[in-house]
Structure 1
């Protein structure tokens, strides 16, 4: 029998935490949990208390005797943990509003993990990730780190390569959404299909086979993209911008929903600008949804996850996180889509870089499944975005203005020249309190603005 484990959730005051706890409860027959720790920062203290009390009711209903704790002391929460799950947002939802609205004010796409906003979410998060990594090395060096913090691929690479936490797996719910929706489109049970993914977090492609061994990728491309339902929206927070069918057919592989920002940029930007003018960008909508959710969570009679959580956009979140923990804990060897070291799975990227691929998850971590070679179009795109991710991590560590501008220039959703500098400067000033590595740079910007 496996030992009883301690799980620590960093960002325990998140609106997603009840979904995570539900997933653990549903797997209580395969996970021997002794302690569950929820930790957050002072900014999230009120939300943490609400989540803690809601979680207690959930466990009581499930008749589980797990010990559960809530704290602002990260070191206390991490001590001797067996699994650490990270799902934190530096600065809270208000920073996301700025990430989306500031680029849009300059006619650039504003999005949580893509474009200028995505770059700045990473820049704010990297220093905190490195602090967490230091604590893990000191307090629970044997622990597995399950990262959900966005941009998940960049932060996972930060934990593994810069933070020296080799026992790290990065997760995203988007591949699970694809699998579910594509099985429905084919009218075939999901467990009768084999999916193979490769690329980067929010920038991957995949292929699909049926149980007879026949590839059905082309069939799915035709179903989903030749004459799509204009209201079809697979991912809650992504507008249904229309792909060009001929382009996707030429690719011959299925795109990630986030590829809409790259393959249908003009259409996506116009939709976002409409929301910007109405003060209803996605971050502002999420802020309203979270207020509603926490009012529901406060209800002393509530002991199950409310259906309203689906509006938040975290479908299959608990499945991804809890399946990864269970597969490691029980040495299951389940196939999942994770961010992990490439190790030759994608021929065109370095072996030690972090990629998002299908992998078998065992007690010793992720074993990537080989994809092979990409054709020229996806290969070029993939190498560009991977290079940009590495530049972002460098800027996030060193706080160098020129490096940050390099990341802007590499990103296909950001322009170059004066507009890029203006957006970069505005975002640096807007997020000053969460960018300590850029302190000297921001001081110079303030001086120049007074001249």
Structure 2
């Protein structure tokens, strides 16, 4: 079975390959094709993968190419993890927004809109090529903003594109762990959009254990989300929000903290990864060791500004292990082998949430089998959550419209309507600022 990884020179690709190395069952991935626009990054990542596979018999064969069509032909699965504009683009997203006093995070608020505006046209081109060159392939999308990009690609690929994210997986795992439950045995009632969802229940053997957690202040304050949001706020919500909702619930504090840091997250990662890729140019460098060291630093500093604002301290060691690669592998196994499983995924709504049309991509538990991912019926969201997800979905639709039409006016509308951008004038300045620094937005007229 052939897996093509778009963004194959990306830093987190070894996580995916590491997961593949653990799969020894019949029908496993035997060929991995890395595609990237940057030869040097492909070379660096291929070196890491080669060291990962050194002690593994019959490891999946790895090839690399900068030819997109060549990479897509014959693929059974296509994993999309591209970053249009690179980490330098992410740093621009952050700086332009913060200069206007609004959030520049890569998937939330102004930064997420800017990232989406330059990513959607590229993702749509990929989707069209997949439909033409690999019509039977399944696309697993991890490209951010994941829900928005998945919806853009679904207009050309239908249900054969499925978005994944490690945030709901990590959240469910932490809740189960603090309750003393096995995450594999727990049913997680999670619903929302990507990076905008809530856990409303966690059932073990048919019993919802979340009320027990919410009633115990000590237990509730003992894990990441309790520290990040505060016990009182979680008890008020009656649910556990995805960590990215900290940007909404504590927006002023988050913006202030990001304005005060010496380097934005994007700038930090750009510098950090530049050092890694530069080190990989040395033939004698220990590729896997260097990658492991860089990854540990990356994960330990994840959302550091938010945790500092909340007084949450450092992340627990158990939360430094990623997770999206395991979701991707479980998804591929379920489809390729008809190994039925349940995963929280980004899929078309299809009537799951009545406030959205059938084509709106949402993030919910899905039953997965050989025919793809099928969203599970969920209870309606409370009013405060419904209002937020509807507002953000409305923004996503304006981003898609702007990307399709090339309309600068529509792009301004997308920014202006976002709950974290509080002024039409600020929206206009954001579009001007982003257009100045991003060649990928030259299509906006």
TM-score by length of 1: 0.87
Cα 1:172–1:337 change in 2 (3 A) is same
Instruction: Choose which of 25, 28, 33 in structure 2 pairs with 1:32.
Output: 28
Q: Which whole-Å CA distance do the structure 1 matches of 2:325 and 2:182 have between them? A: 20
Mean Cα displacement is larger for which, 325-334 or 345-354? 345-354
Cα 1:223–1:27 change in 2 (3 A) is farther
1:291 equivalent to 2:284? Answer: no
Residue aligning to 1:429 = 436
Structure 1 gaps, min length 5: 235-239, 442-451
Residue aligning to 2:189 = 196
SS of the residue aligned with 2:443? helix
- Tell me, yes or no, if the aligned pair for 2:146 and 2:163 is still in contact at 8 Å: yes
Shift of 1:245: 4.7
> What is the 5 A alignment of 1:405-416?
405-416=412-423
Mean Cα displacement is larger for which, 144-153 or 191-200? 191-200
Shift of 1:436: 4.1
SS of the residue aligned with 2:159? coil
Structure 2 gaps, min length 5: 300-320
- Tell me, yes or no, if the aligned pair for 1:99 and 1:120 is still in contact at 8 Å: yes
Shift of 1:303: 4.9
Residue aligning to 2:302 = none
Shift of 1:101: 1.0
Q: Which whole-Å CA distance do the structure 2 matches of 1:194 and 1:270 have between them? A: 37
- Tell me, yes or no, if the aligned pair for 2:34 and 2:65 is still in contact at 8 Å: yes
Residue aligning to 2:259 = 273
TM-score by length of 2: 0.88
Residue aligning to 1:145 = 139
CA deviations 1:250-309 (Å, max 9, x no partner) are 43222111111111111211211111xx2x111122123323443666665445762541
- Tell me, yes or no, if the aligned pair for 1:13 and 1:48 is still in contact at 8 Å: yes
- Tell me, yes or no, if the aligned pair for 2:181 and 2:204 is still in contact at 8 Å: no
CA deviations 1:359-394 (Å, max 9, x no partner) are 011111011111121221111111111111111111
SS of the residue aligned with 1:356? strand
1:342 equivalent to 2:349? Answer: yes
Residue aligning to 2:211 = 218
Corresponding residue pairs, total = 421
How large is the Cα RMSD of the aligned pairs? Answer: 2.3
Shift of 1:67: 2.8
1:52 equivalent to 2:38? Answer: no
Shift of 1:233: 4.8
Cα 1:166–1:186 change in 2 (3 A) is closer
Cα 1:295–1:309 change in 2 (3 A) is farther
Q: Which whole-Å CA distance do the structure 2 matches of 1:395 and 1:226 have between them? A: 46
Q: Which whole-Å CA distance do the structure 2 matches of 1:434 and 1:68 have between them? A: 30
Residue aligning to 2:249 = 263
SS of the residue aligned with 2:379? coil
CA deviations 1:197-229 (Å, max 9, x no partner) are 111101111223342422222333455799746
Residue aligning to 1:332 = 339
